[in-house]
């Protein structure tokens, strides 16, 4: 499970769900890009967890 805090470098591109400070779902999802910093959250203590990796064709 990939859990990010705001400002951390994103290890895997994809859809991330935002969780509250005590671990509850907020109903928000954000798209994050590998090697970019994670954006600020709406409230202090929130984190983001990867729910769907981006699929690439090569």
pLDDT at residue 56, as a whole number? 75
In contact, 8 and 40? CB cutoff 8 Å? no
In a domain, 58, yes or no: no
Model confidence pLDDT, tens digit, residues 10-56: 999 999 999 999 999 999 999 999 999 999 999 999 999 999 999 87
How is 1-24 classified by DSSP, letter by letter? --EE-TTSBPSS-EEEEEE-TTS-
Look at the alpha carbons of 11, 16, 43, 37 in this order and tell me if their dihedral is positive or negative. positive
Q: Is residue 7 part of a domain?
A: yes
**Domain range for residue 7?**
3-53
26 dihedral zone (left: phi>0; alpha: psi -120 to 50; beta): alpha
Domain count, the chain: 1
Assigned domain for 25 exists: yes
**Within a domain: 43:** yes
Record the tokens describing residue 53, joined without a space: 């990796």
pLDDT confidence band for 58 (50 / 70 / 90): low
Its pTM stands at 0.89
């Amino acid at each position: 499970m990939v859990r990010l805090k705001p400002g951390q470098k994103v290890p895997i591109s994809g859809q991330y769900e935002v969780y509250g400070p005590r671990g509850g779902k907020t109903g928000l999802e954000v798209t994050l890009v590998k090697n970019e910093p994670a954006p600020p959250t709406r409230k202090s203590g929130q984190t983001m967890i990867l729910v769907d990796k981006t699929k690439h064709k090569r």
